[in-house]
Amino acid sequence: MTKFNKAPIRATLAILLSLGMAGCNIAPVPFGAQSTNQSVKTEEPARRDSASSSVATSETNKTEANAPQVTDDAMSAETMGLTAESTYMPIDDTIYNTEEYGKVEETGFVAASTSPLSTISADVDTASYANLRRMLKDGFRVGDAAKDESEKKNTGGDDVVIVEDYDDGYSSVERKVIPTGAVRLEEMVNYFDYQYQTPKKGEDFGITAKLGPCPWNKDTQLLVLGYATANEDASIRQKGSNLVFLIDVSGSMDDPDKLPLLQKSFAKLVEGLGENDRVSIVTYSGEEKVVLENESGSNKSKILESINSLKAHGSTNGEAGMRTAYDIAKKHFVEGGINRIVMASDGDLNVGMTSESDLHDFVEGKRKEGVYLSVLGFGTGNYKDTKMETLADHGNGSYHYIDCEDEAKRVFEQRIMANLVPFADDVKVQLEFNPAQIKAYRLIGYENRSMAAEDFKNDQKDAGEVGPNSQFSVVYEIVRPDSAMKIDVPELKYGQGEGANGASSDWITAKLRYKPAGKSDVKEQELAISEKDWSEDPGDDWRFAAAVTEFGMLLRNSEFKGTSSYDGIRGLVGSPKDQLRIEFLELVGLAEKN
């Protein structure tokens, strides 16, 4: 293997896959089973026919004919369109995986005496879980440092892919290993529904706190906090919705698990629309196009006809598409109603604005106009999770990955209101730990959602959006004063910090701050957590949330996984009746087997 300097792979490489889909079961041809007559696309990605995996246009055939030929024993960096800062694998019959995931640095234990406050932005995204489901069903396995190092020396085999190795700063060739950045524990826990406390009269959120012995660490306790919103404000729906479907139709979307699945997914969304809804469709590839503008949601046949007529071709100018979509949304803005762009893509933006920082600045500026942006991710091989997450997080919307028709149904049939109707903006959670009762704590997940303690009261700081009749969970591992676990406590010249209250029996105070959607006022709720919330067995939901957390730590090969095991996960879950929880156990079995 040849190694160059650190940089993401920029070449857009066609991945020849023949996919068969049944529910969430996607069975691609094994890696390495492609045609031996390989050629590299030097410009736009080729269109592929789902039945034959052949090049579908004469223009693409011409591109392939003029492309440099790949030798039998190696691929040069120039042939592949890579810079000297990229990495390639000089071997035949290899499929190149250029998926991108952000670096995740787990939060360690923090001494409550020196840092009593933990602050995060709420998150209702579920993309990570669905994406991991796709990987596990495709044979990806959990990484192991010793095993991976051994396999890097053997570049043969039929399941070799390129993944990002953030530990040493280089892209590297490995077996099909789950990237640690793809494992976001909060999104895994939030994928499932729990029986959380409903809001009390006069409140918008119900808050549930469950404490019990941590299943993977005998020296800690596990806190699961659940937040559930009230039902939607009917007046918002009555005023109508202004929905703009922003659809990626570039050449990279021409796979069965991309544009065709996207079209089926949007059909699920359209089924829930009515006469008070207005729909526009904007597409982007090498150029943006307004396919449909301000059509009544009751005219389902016309909307579906427009969606089903879309074909994949060209490059990916996401910037032009987003600008047009925001212009259309602003043009037909519904005062006091729903104004949302629903973007669907594999995230492979290669023309115009492409960096995460530029995308962040663009959508953050646009959200001030009152238009929300939700993001749906599709596809494999060149999927750009980093860009998709950035767009949703800073566009005041949720982020979901659609790996099958069942997931589309769940997102848009069963939870359409939670994913389209705004309920509360800038939702922040802050926990204050009483140093007299808590020695230390560790926030599990939410690594890219953490905020400075001062930002909790700063209403100019953006935070998460939560829809009606929805929920999210926050999980902490805590250390009690009598625990044998040792915590390094920094020495403070000026005392042990503010907030310590040795006289109080409260262990923790959980605060919630948010703006009701469409309103300028700010509300707060809080819940005191103490020994009364602790139980040796806090119940089925607590055990399941603990099991999902434990599973995520195993997939990530977390340094905090302790005694986590697949058998331990199964023991926590028991024999569920809910189909999604049953499927969860199936994924646990796949991870163990892979």
CATH number for the domain harbouring residue 510: 2.60.40.1230
The pairing of strands 372-377 and 399-401 is parallel
The pLDDT score that the predictor gives to residue 67 is 41
Whether pLDDT at 349 is above 90:
no
Whether residues 210 and 288 fall in one domain: no
* Rounded distance between C-alpha atoms, residue 134 and residue 288, angstroms: 30
Burial class of residue 491 in the structure, from the number of CB atoms within 10 Å of its CB (0-12 exposed, 13-18 middle, 19+ buried): exposed
User: Does residue 134 form part of some domain?
Assistant: no
Q: What are phi and psi of 480, to 5 degrees?
A: -80, 160
The pLDDT score that the predictor gives to residue 396 is 86
The pairing of strands 277-284 and 241-248 is parallel
* Cα 524 → chain centroid: 27
The last residue of a domain, from among 388, 419, 450: 419
Strand arrangement of the beta sheet that strand 110-111 belongs to: 110-111, 440-444, 471-479, 221-229, 205-213
Query: What integer is the mean pLDDT of 489-512?
Result: 76
- Mean pLDDT of the chain, nearest integer: 80
Whether residues 398 and 296 fall in one domain: yes
Whether residues 307 and 415 fall in one domain: yes
Whether pLDDT at 132 is above 80:
yes
| 501 C-beta neighbours (distance < 10 Å), count | 14
Whether residues 24 and 164 fall in one domain: yes
Whether residues 209 and 243 fall in one domain: no
Task: Name the residue type at position 324.
Answer: T
The pLDDT score that the predictor gives to residue 437 is 96
Query: What integer is the mean pLDDT of 49-73?
Result: 36
Strands (E), 329-439: 338-345, 372-377, 399-401, 424-433
CB 548 within 8 A of CB 473: no
The pLDDT score that the predictor gives to residue 141 is 92
The residue assigned the tokens 């997102």 is 411
Whether residues 291 and 337 fall in one domain: yes
User: Does residue 135 form part of some domain?
Assistant: no
The pLDDT score that the predictor gives to residue 502 is 57
User: Does residue 329 form part of some domain?
Assistant: yes
Whether residues 273 and 395 fall in one domain: yes
Whether residues 362 and 299 fall in one domain: yes
* Total count of domains within the chain: 4
Whether pLDDT at 62 is above 90:
no
CB 206 within 8 A of CB 227: yes
Q: Residue 583: give the domain boundaries.
A: 552-567+570-593
Query: What integer is the mean pLDDT of 473-486?
Result: 97
Q: What is the CATH number of the domain that holds 409?
A: 3.40.50.410
Query: What integer is the mean pLDDT of 488-506?
Result: 70
CB 242 within 8 A of CB 334: yes
Alpha helix ranges (H) inside 431-574: 540-556, 566-573
The pLDDT score that the predictor gives to residue 11 is 36
pLDDT, tens digit (0-9, with 9 covering 90-100), for 386-413: 989 988 888 888 999 999 999 999 998 8
The last residue of a domain, from among 419, 446, 472: 419
| 579 C-beta neighbours (distance < 10 Å), count | 9
Helix (H) or strand (E) holding 301: helix 300-308
pLDDT band of residue 50 (cuts 50, 70, 90) is very low
Whether residues 194 and 278 fall in one domain: no
Q: Which residues contact 286 (CB under 8 A, 6 or more apart)?
A: 44, 250, 313, 314, 315, 317, 351
Beta bridge partners of 207: 227
* Rounded distance between C-alpha atoms, residue 552 and residue 189, angstroms: 9
User: Does residue 106 form part of some domain?
Assistant: no
pLDDT, tens digit (0-9, with 9 covering 90-100), for 168-196: 443 444 468 999 999 999 999 999 999 99
CB 56 within 8 A of CB 16: no
User: Does residue 104 form part of some domain?
Assistant: no
The last residue of a domain, from among 419, 434, 449: 419
Helix (H) or strand (E) holding 579: helix 579-593
User: Does residue 124 form part of some domain?
Assistant: yes
pLDDT band of residue 37 (cuts 50, 70, 90) is very low
The pLDDT score that the predictor gives to residue 196 is 97
Whether pLDDT at 41 is above 50:
no
**Which of the listed ranges 1-10, 196-205, 206-215, 225-234 does the model predict with the highest average pLDDT?**
206-215
* Rounded distance between C-alpha atoms, residue 15 and residue 47, angstroms: 10
99 versus 499: which is more confidently predicted? 99
The string over 384-416, giving b where at least 16 C-beta atoms fall within 10 Å of a residue's C-beta and e elsewhere, is bbbbbbbbbbbbbbbbbbbbbbbbbbbbbeebb
89-103, 311-325, 423-437, 550-564, range with the lowest pLDDT: 89-103
CB 164 within 8 A of CB 553: no
* Cα 273 → chain centroid: 26
Burial class of residue 5 in the structure, from the number of CB atoms within 10 Å of its CB (0-12 exposed, 13-18 middle, 19+ buried): exposed
Whether pLDDT at 138 is above 90:
yes
| 518 C-beta neighbours (distance < 10 Å), count | 17
Query: What integer is the mean pLDDT of 1-30?
Result: 38
Whether residues 398 and 494 fall in one domain: no
pTM: 0.81
The pLDDT score that the predictor gives to residue 353 is 62
CB 254 within 8 A of CB 262: no
The residue assigned the tokens 């390989």 is 38
Q: DSSP string spanning 241-263?
A: EEEEEEEE-SGGG-STTTHHHHH
Whether pLDDT at 476 is above 80:
yes
Task: Name the residue type at position 348.
Answer: D
Residues 326, 332, 333, 339: is their CA dihedral positive or negative?
A: negative
The pLDDT score that the predictor gives to residue 352 is 62
pLDDT band of residue 570 (cuts 50, 70, 90) is very high
* Rounded distance between C-alpha atoms, residue 138 and residue 121, angstroms: 32
Burial class of residue 35 in the structure, from the number of CB atoms within 10 Å of its CB (0-12 exposed, 13-18 middle, 19+ buried): exposed
| 524 C-beta neighbours (distance < 10 Å), count | 12
146-150, 306-310, 355-359, 379-383, range with the lowest pLDDT: 146-150
Helices (H) and strands (E) in the chain, counts: 16, 21
**Region of 499 on the Ramachandran plot (φ > 0 left; ψ -120 to 50 alpha; else beta):** left
Q: What is the percent of the chain with per-residue pLDDT over 70, rounded to a whole number? A: 77
240 versus 170: which is more confidently predicted? 240
Whether residues 295 and 405 fall in one domain: yes
User: Does residue 248 form part of some domain?
Assistant: yes
The pLDDT score that the predictor gives to residue 92 is 36
Query: What integer is the mean pLDDT of 152-165?
Result: 41
Between the CA atoms of 264, 189, 551 and 29, what dihedral angle is there, to the nearest 10 degrees? 10
The residue assigned the tokens 């109080």 is 504
Burial class of residue 552 in the structure, from the number of CB atoms within 10 Å of its CB (0-12 exposed, 13-18 middle, 19+ buried): buried
Burial class of residue 576 in the structure, from the number of CB atoms within 10 Å of its CB (0-12 exposed, 13-18 middle, 19+ buried): middle
Q: Name the residue among 167, 163, 169 with its Cα closest to residue 6.
A: 169
pLDDT band of residue 286 (cuts 50, 70, 90) is confident
The residue assigned the tokens 């250390």 is 479
Whether residues 250 and 328 fall in one domain: yes
Q: Which residues contact 328 (CB under 8 A, 6 or more apart)?
A: 244, 280, 282, 290, 293, 294
User: Does residue 103 form part of some domain?
Assistant: no
